[in-house]
Amino acid sequence: MAEGVCGERKSMRCGPRLPRHLTFHARTNASPLTDRGRNQWFHLRRRRHSLSRFLTLAFAFCIDETHADTVIQRMASFISSLHVSPTPFSSPARIECRSAFATFDNTDAIPRESHSTTCPPGHSPSPTTGFSPAFKMIPQRFDLGMLDPSFTVFFCCDFQEKFAPAILHFKEILDVSKRLVEASKMLGIPLIATEQYPKGLGKTVTELDVSSGNALGVVEKTEFSMCVEPVLAQLKQACGGSAKSIVLFGIEAHVCVEQTAIDLKSLGYDVHVVADATSSRSQEDRMLAFQRLQQIGCFITTHENVLFKLIRSKDHPKFKEVQKLIIERVPSTGLVPASKM
Protein backbone atom coordinates (compact mmCIF):
# COMPACT_ATOMS: atom_id res chain seq x y z
CA MET A 1 0.00 0.00 0.00
CA ALA A 2 1.20 3.55 -0.66
CA GLU A 3 0.06 7.05 0.22
CA GLY A 4 -1.72 8.89 -2.61
CA VAL A 5 -1.50 12.56 -3.52
CA CYS A 6 -4.38 13.46 -1.22
CA GLY A 7 -3.24 11.24 1.61
CA GLU A 8 -5.42 8.32 0.51
CA ARG A 9 -4.02 4.83 0.62
CA LYS A 10 -3.88 3.34 -2.83
CA SER A 11 -3.53 -0.30 -3.74
CA MET A 12 -0.36 -1.47 -5.51
CA ARG A 13 -2.11 -4.33 -7.29
CA CYS A 14 -0.46 -5.26 -10.56
CA GLY A 15 -2.82 -7.29 -12.66
CA PRO A 16 -5.70 -9.59 -11.80
CA ARG A 17 -5.86 -11.71 -8.69
CA LEU A 18 -6.07 -15.46 -8.90
CA PRO A 19 -9.78 -16.42 -8.65
CA ARG A 20 -10.76 -17.43 -5.14
CA HIS A 21 -11.66 -21.00 -6.05
CA LEU A 22 -8.15 -21.53 -7.50
CA THR A 23 -6.07 -19.95 -4.75
CA PHE A 24 -3.51 -21.79 -2.66
CA HIS A 25 -5.01 -23.13 0.57
CA ALA A 26 -2.44 -22.75 3.35
CA ARG A 27 -4.30 -24.88 5.89
CA THR A 28 -4.50 -27.92 3.67
CA ASN A 29 -1.26 -27.15 1.81
CA ALA A 30 -3.18 -27.82 -1.39
CA SER A 31 -3.97 -25.99 -4.58
CA PRO A 32 -5.73 -27.11 -7.76
CA LEU A 33 -2.85 -25.55 -9.74
CA THR A 34 0.54 -27.16 -10.24
CA ASP A 35 3.67 -25.18 -9.39
CA ARG A 36 4.14 -24.39 -13.06
CA GLY A 37 0.62 -23.06 -13.47
CA ARG A 38 0.84 -20.99 -10.30
CA ASN A 39 4.19 -19.50 -11.30
CA GLN A 40 2.86 -18.64 -14.75
CA TRP A 41 -0.09 -16.85 -13.18
CA PHE A 42 2.00 -14.71 -10.84
CA HIS A 43 4.43 -13.97 -13.67
CA LEU A 44 1.52 -12.58 -15.66
CA ARG A 45 0.40 -10.51 -12.68
CA ARG A 46 3.81 -8.86 -12.53
CA ARG A 47 3.48 -7.72 -16.13
CA ARG A 48 1.69 -4.42 -15.60
CA HIS A 49 0.07 -3.84 -18.97
CA SER A 50 -3.42 -3.22 -20.29
CA LEU A 51 -4.30 -6.89 -20.68
CA SER A 52 -4.93 -7.42 -16.97
CA ARG A 53 -8.67 -7.05 -17.51
CA PHE A 54 -8.48 -9.40 -20.45
CA LEU A 55 -6.87 -12.01 -18.20
CA THR A 56 -9.66 -11.70 -15.65
CA LEU A 57 -12.39 -11.97 -18.28
CA ALA A 58 -10.78 -14.90 -20.04
CA PHE A 59 -10.27 -16.75 -16.78
CA ALA A 60 -13.94 -16.25 -15.87
CA PHE A 61 -14.72 -18.90 -18.48
CA CYS A 62 -12.68 -21.49 -16.62
CA ILE A 63 -15.35 -23.53 -14.90
CA ASP A 64 -13.29 -26.64 -14.26
CA GLU A 65 -10.34 -26.50 -11.86
CA THR A 66 -8.59 -29.46 -13.46
CA HIS A 67 -8.03 -27.42 -16.62
CA ALA A 68 -6.81 -24.27 -14.89
CA ASP A 69 -3.15 -25.01 -15.71
CA THR A 70 -3.93 -25.38 -19.39
CA VAL A 71 -5.87 -22.12 -19.50
CA ILE A 72 -3.13 -20.17 -17.70
CA GLN A 73 -0.35 -21.56 -19.88
CA ARG A 74 -2.27 -20.85 -23.07
CA MET A 75 -2.98 -17.29 -21.92
CA ALA A 76 0.68 -16.81 -21.06
CA SER A 77 1.90 -17.85 -24.49
CA PHE A 78 -0.90 -15.95 -26.21
CA ILE A 79 -0.30 -12.68 -24.36
CA SER A 80 3.47 -12.88 -24.72
CA SER A 81 2.97 -12.88 -28.49
CA LEU A 82 1.12 -9.55 -28.35
CA HIS A 83 2.88 -6.21 -28.51
CA VAL A 84 0.78 -3.66 -26.66
CA SER A 85 1.51 -0.38 -25.02
CA PRO A 86 2.41 -0.70 -21.32
CA THR A 87 0.15 2.27 -20.58
CA PRO A 88 -2.88 0.70 -18.89
CA PHE A 89 -5.53 3.07 -20.19
CA SER A 90 -4.25 4.10 -23.62
CA SER A 91 -6.82 3.81 -26.40
CA PRO A 92 -4.64 1.66 -28.71
CA ALA A 93 -4.03 -0.75 -25.85
CA ARG A 94 -7.73 -1.01 -25.08
CA ILE A 95 -8.55 -1.64 -28.74
CA GLU A 96 -5.91 -4.36 -29.05
CA CYS A 97 -7.03 -5.88 -25.76
CA ARG A 98 -10.63 -6.00 -26.97
CA SER A 99 -9.52 -7.54 -30.26
CA ALA A 100 -7.40 -10.10 -28.44
CA PHE A 101 -10.29 -11.16 -26.25
CA ALA A 102 -12.57 -11.50 -29.27
CA THR A 103 -10.14 -13.85 -31.02
CA PHE A 104 -9.01 -15.82 -27.98
CA ASP A 105 -10.05 -19.46 -28.34
CA ASN A 106 -9.95 -21.65 -25.27
CA THR A 107 -12.64 -24.14 -26.25
CA ASP A 108 -10.28 -27.12 -26.12
CA ALA A 109 -8.93 -26.01 -22.75
CA ILE A 110 -12.33 -25.91 -21.06
CA PRO A 111 -14.62 -28.95 -21.11
CA ARG A 112 -18.04 -27.47 -21.93
CA GLU A 113 -19.91 -30.66 -21.16
CA SER A 114 -18.67 -31.00 -17.58
CA HIS A 115 -19.70 -28.43 -15.01
CA SER A 116 -17.98 -27.86 -11.72
CA THR A 117 -19.88 -26.66 -8.68
CA THR A 118 -17.13 -24.11 -8.09
CA CYS A 119 -18.08 -21.57 -10.74
CA PRO A 120 -16.91 -17.98 -10.24
CA PRO A 121 -19.37 -15.81 -8.27
CA GLY A 122 -22.25 -14.59 -10.41
CA HIS A 123 -21.83 -17.39 -12.94
CA SER A 124 -23.57 -20.71 -13.17
CA PRO A 125 -23.23 -23.76 -15.37
CA SER A 126 -25.47 -23.79 -18.42
CA PRO A 127 -27.56 -26.82 -19.32
CA THR A 128 -25.81 -29.00 -21.88
CA THR A 129 -28.91 -30.26 -23.64
CA GLY A 130 -29.94 -28.36 -26.74
CA PHE A 131 -27.61 -25.38 -26.29
CA SER A 132 -25.11 -24.29 -28.92
CA PRO A 133 -21.42 -23.77 -27.97
CA ALA A 134 -21.93 -20.00 -28.12
CA PHE A 135 -24.50 -20.17 -25.32
CA LYS A 136 -22.24 -22.38 -23.21
CA MET A 137 -19.43 -19.82 -23.36
CA ILE A 138 -21.60 -16.99 -22.02
CA PRO A 139 -21.91 -16.86 -18.22
CA GLN A 140 -25.49 -17.00 -17.00
CA ARG A 141 -26.53 -13.68 -15.44
CA PHE A 142 -29.71 -14.26 -13.48
CA ASP A 143 -29.54 -10.71 -12.14
CA LEU A 144 -29.95 -9.48 -15.73
CA GLY A 145 -33.09 -11.51 -16.27
CA MET A 146 -31.85 -14.78 -17.76
CA LEU A 147 -33.61 -18.01 -16.84
CA ASP A 148 -32.33 -21.56 -16.60
CA PRO A 149 -34.73 -24.51 -16.09
CA SER A 150 -32.26 -26.05 -13.65
CA PHE A 151 -32.52 -23.08 -11.29
CA THR A 152 -36.12 -21.91 -11.84
CA VAL A 153 -39.32 -22.48 -9.85
CA PHE A 154 -42.85 -21.48 -10.91
CA PHE A 155 -45.14 -19.88 -8.29
CA CYS A 156 -48.89 -20.01 -9.05
CA CYS A 157 -50.70 -17.66 -6.68
CA ASP A 158 -54.34 -18.18 -5.64
CA PHE A 159 -56.16 -19.02 -8.89
CA GLN A 160 -59.39 -19.80 -7.04
CA GLU A 161 -63.03 -20.26 -7.99
CA LYS A 162 -64.52 -17.27 -6.15
CA PHE A 163 -62.11 -14.89 -7.88
CA ALA A 164 -63.38 -15.77 -11.36
CA PRO A 165 -66.24 -13.23 -11.64
CA ALA A 166 -64.37 -10.43 -9.87
CA ILE A 167 -60.90 -10.40 -11.45
CA LEU A 168 -60.26 -8.30 -14.54
CA HIS A 169 -59.49 -10.43 -17.64
CA PHE A 170 -59.75 -13.60 -15.57
CA LYS A 171 -60.38 -15.91 -18.55
CA GLU A 172 -57.43 -14.50 -20.50
CA ILE A 173 -54.90 -14.70 -17.66
CA LEU A 174 -56.17 -18.21 -16.90
CA ASP A 175 -55.41 -19.27 -20.49
CA VAL A 176 -51.88 -17.88 -20.15
CA SER A 177 -51.41 -19.58 -16.79
CA LYS A 178 -52.42 -22.92 -18.32
CA ARG A 179 -49.58 -22.50 -20.81
CA LEU A 180 -47.11 -21.85 -18.01
CA VAL A 181 -48.29 -24.90 -16.06
CA GLU A 182 -47.95 -27.09 -19.15
CA ALA A 183 -44.49 -25.66 -19.85
CA SER A 184 -43.41 -26.51 -16.31
CA LYS A 185 -44.25 -30.15 -17.01
CA MET A 186 -42.45 -30.14 -20.38
CA LEU A 187 -39.27 -28.57 -19.03
CA GLY A 188 -39.25 -30.30 -15.65
CA ILE A 189 -39.63 -27.06 -13.69
CA PRO A 190 -40.99 -27.33 -10.13
CA LEU A 191 -44.39 -25.69 -9.60
CA ILE A 192 -45.67 -24.45 -6.25
CA ALA A 193 -49.31 -23.35 -5.96
CA THR A 194 -51.22 -21.76 -3.09
CA GLU A 195 -54.83 -21.13 -2.11
CA GLN A 196 -55.87 -18.14 -0.02
CA TYR A 197 -58.41 -19.16 2.64
CA PRO A 198 -60.03 -21.90 0.51
CA LYS A 199 -62.99 -22.25 2.91
CA GLY A 200 -64.19 -18.84 1.81
CA LEU A 201 -62.64 -18.40 -1.65
CA GLY A 202 -62.88 -21.96 -2.95
CA LYS A 203 -60.30 -24.32 -4.40
CA THR A 204 -58.00 -23.80 -7.38
CA VAL A 205 -59.98 -23.68 -10.63
CA THR A 206 -60.20 -27.08 -12.30
CA GLU A 207 -58.74 -25.74 -15.56
CA LEU A 208 -55.33 -25.49 -13.88
CA ASP A 209 -53.68 -28.84 -13.22
CA VAL A 210 -51.40 -27.94 -10.33
CA SER A 211 -51.20 -31.40 -8.81
CA SER A 212 -49.35 -33.45 -11.44
CA GLY A 213 -46.06 -33.39 -13.28
CA ASN A 214 -43.46 -31.40 -11.37
CA ALA A 215 -46.05 -29.76 -9.12
CA LEU A 216 -45.00 -29.82 -5.48
CA GLY A 217 -48.57 -29.62 -4.23
CA VAL A 218 -51.06 -26.93 -3.25
CA VAL A 219 -50.49 -25.08 0.02
CA GLU A 220 -53.40 -23.49 1.89
CA LYS A 221 -52.68 -20.17 3.57
CA THR A 222 -54.28 -17.21 5.29
CA GLU A 223 -51.35 -14.82 4.92
CA PHE A 224 -51.35 -12.79 1.74
CA SER A 225 -47.78 -13.70 0.79
CA MET A 226 -47.08 -17.14 -0.62
CA CYS A 227 -43.90 -17.29 1.47
CA VAL A 228 -45.36 -19.29 4.34
CA GLU A 229 -43.37 -22.03 6.04
CA PRO A 230 -44.60 -25.00 3.93
CA VAL A 231 -43.87 -23.11 0.69
CA LEU A 232 -40.40 -22.04 1.84
CA ALA A 233 -39.65 -25.63 2.82
CA GLN A 234 -40.62 -26.80 -0.68
CA LEU A 235 -38.61 -24.00 -2.26
CA LYS A 236 -35.47 -25.00 -0.37
CA GLN A 237 -35.79 -28.54 -1.71
CA ALA A 238 -36.60 -27.51 -5.29
CA CYS A 239 -33.88 -27.67 -7.95
CA GLY A 240 -31.72 -29.67 -5.58
CA GLY A 241 -31.62 -26.73 -3.20
CA SER A 242 -30.13 -24.38 -5.81
CA ALA A 243 -33.17 -22.40 -7.01
CA LYS A 244 -32.27 -18.85 -8.05
CA SER A 245 -35.19 -17.53 -10.13
CA ILE A 246 -38.91 -17.48 -9.38
CA VAL A 247 -41.51 -17.08 -12.14
CA LEU A 248 -44.53 -15.63 -10.33
CA PHE A 249 -48.10 -15.28 -11.62
CA GLY A 250 -51.62 -15.22 -10.23
CA ILE A 251 -54.08 -13.15 -8.21
CA GLU A 252 -54.17 -10.39 -7.06
CA ALA A 253 -51.32 -8.32 -8.44
CA HIS A 254 -51.45 -5.61 -5.76
CA VAL A 255 -51.96 -7.92 -2.78
CA CYS A 256 -50.77 -11.52 -2.72
CA VAL A 257 -48.50 -11.35 -5.77
CA GLU A 258 -46.81 -8.12 -4.68
CA GLN A 259 -46.24 -9.26 -1.10
CA THR A 260 -44.90 -12.60 -2.33
CA ALA A 261 -42.45 -10.81 -4.62
CA ILE A 262 -41.24 -8.57 -1.79
CA ASP A 263 -40.59 -11.58 0.44
CA LEU A 264 -38.80 -13.47 -2.33
CA LYS A 265 -36.60 -10.47 -3.13
CA SER A 266 -35.81 -10.16 0.57
CA LEU A 267 -34.66 -13.79 0.51
CA GLY A 268 -32.34 -13.09 -2.42
CA TYR A 269 -34.28 -14.62 -5.31
CA ASP A 270 -34.66 -13.06 -8.75
CA VAL A 271 -38.38 -12.62 -9.39
CA HIS A 272 -40.06 -12.61 -12.81
CA VAL A 273 -43.68 -11.45 -12.62
CA VAL A 274 -45.68 -12.67 -15.63
CA ALA A 275 -47.87 -9.65 -16.32
CA ASP A 276 -50.19 -11.35 -18.83
CA ALA A 277 -50.92 -14.08 -16.26
CA THR A 278 -51.45 -11.72 -13.32
CA SER A 279 -54.35 -9.39 -12.58
CA SER A 280 -56.46 -7.61 -9.97
CA ARG A 281 -60.06 -6.50 -9.64
CA SER A 282 -59.22 -3.07 -11.07
CA GLN A 283 -56.82 -2.02 -13.80
CA GLU A 284 -55.47 0.79 -11.63
CA ASP A 285 -54.39 -1.57 -8.86
CA ARG A 286 -52.95 -3.99 -11.39
CA MET A 287 -50.82 -1.50 -13.33
CA LEU A 288 -49.62 0.39 -10.25
CA ALA A 289 -48.61 -2.94 -8.70
CA PHE A 290 -46.47 -3.71 -11.76
CA GLN A 291 -44.79 -0.31 -11.40
CA ARG A 292 -43.99 -0.91 -7.73
CA LEU A 293 -42.73 -4.42 -8.47
CA GLN A 294 -40.41 -3.08 -11.14
CA GLN A 295 -39.12 -0.44 -8.72
CA ILE A 296 -38.07 -3.09 -6.20
CA GLY A 297 -36.13 -5.01 -8.85
CA CYS A 298 -38.61 -7.55 -10.25
CA PHE A 299 -38.65 -8.38 -13.94
CA ILE A 300 -42.08 -7.59 -15.40
CA THR A 301 -42.46 -9.97 -18.30
CA THR A 302 -44.83 -12.03 -20.44
CA HIS A 303 -45.27 -15.77 -20.72
CA GLU A 304 -43.67 -15.95 -24.17
CA ASN A 305 -40.61 -14.07 -22.94
CA VAL A 306 -40.28 -16.53 -20.06
CA LEU A 307 -40.64 -19.62 -22.25
CA PHE A 308 -38.13 -18.48 -24.86
CA LYS A 309 -35.61 -17.58 -22.16
CA LEU A 310 -35.98 -21.06 -20.71
CA ILE A 311 -35.29 -22.88 -23.99
CA ARG A 312 -32.99 -20.23 -25.56
CA SER A 313 -32.61 -22.03 -28.91
CA LYS A 314 -34.64 -23.69 -31.64
CA ASP A 315 -32.28 -26.64 -31.18
CA HIS A 316 -33.67 -27.27 -27.71
CA PRO A 317 -35.28 -30.74 -27.65
CA LYS A 318 -38.53 -29.27 -26.29
CA PHE A 319 -38.73 -26.39 -28.78
CA LYS A 320 -41.51 -27.94 -30.89
CA GLU A 321 -43.63 -28.68 -27.84
CA VAL A 322 -43.20 -25.18 -26.45
CA GLN A 323 -43.95 -23.70 -29.87
CA LYS A 324 -47.28 -25.53 -29.96
CA LEU A 325 -48.20 -23.91 -26.66
CA ILE A 326 -47.80 -20.38 -27.98
CA ILE A 327 -48.72 -20.83 -31.65
CA GLU A 328 -52.27 -19.64 -30.97
CA ARG A 329 -52.43 -16.00 -30.03
CA VAL A 330 -53.92 -15.23 -26.62
CA PRO A 331 -56.66 -12.57 -26.49
CA SER A 332 -55.58 -9.24 -25.03
CA THR A 333 -55.11 -9.27 -21.27
CA GLY A 334 -55.52 -5.50 -21.01
CA LEU A 335 -51.84 -4.62 -20.56
CA VAL A 336 -51.99 -2.32 -23.59
CA PRO A 337 -55.08 -0.17 -24.25
CA ALA A 338 -57.03 -1.32 -27.30
CA SER A 339 -56.64 2.13 -28.85
CA LYS A 340 -52.85 1.66 -28.94
CA MET A 341 -52.81 -1.87 -30.33
Residue whose C-alpha is closest to residue 59's, from 122, 100, 120, 136? 120
CA atoms of 161 and 165, how far apart (whole Å): 9
pLDDT of residue 212: 85
User: What pLDDT does residue 130 have?
Assistant: 44
CB neighbours of 189 closer than 8 A, spacing ≥ 6?
149, 152, 153, 154, 183, 214, 247, 310
Location of each CATH 3.40.50.850 domain in the chain: 142-333
Q: Residue 294, CB half-sphere, CA atoms under 13 Å: how many?
A: 10
CATH tag, 142-333: 3.40.50.850
Q: Cα–Cα distances in Å, from 109 out to 70, 71, 105?
A: 6, 6, 9
User: Residue 291 belongs to what H/E stretch?
Assistant: helix 283-295
Q: Please report, in angstroms and rounded to a whole number, the separation of the first and last CA atoms in the chain.
A: 61
At residue 247's C-alpha, the angle toward residues 244 and 248, to 5°, is: 125
* The CA-based dihedral angle spanning residues 80, 82, 83, 86, taken in that order and rounded to the nearest 10 degrees: -70
Q: Which of 332, 331, 280, 276 is nearest to 304 (CA)?
A: 276
pLDDT confidence of residue 36: 58
Q: Which residues contact 161 (CB under 8 A, 6 or more apart)?
A: 201, 202, 203, 204, 205
pLDDT value at residue 94: 43
Q: What is the pLDDT of residue 337?
A: 79
User: Residues with catalytic annotation?
Assistant: 158, 221, 256
Rounded to whole angstroms, how far apart are CA atoms 211 and 142? Answer: 28
Task: State the Cα–Cα distance between residues 177 and 309, nearest whole angstrom.
Answer: 17
Q: Check residue 33 and give its pLDDT.
A: 53
Predicted pLDDT at 149 = 95
On whether the CB atoms of residues 253 and 225 are closer than 8 A, the answer is no
Alpha-carbon gap, residue 253 to 270, rounded angstroms: 17
- Segments of the chain with pLDDT less than 70: 1-140, 338-341
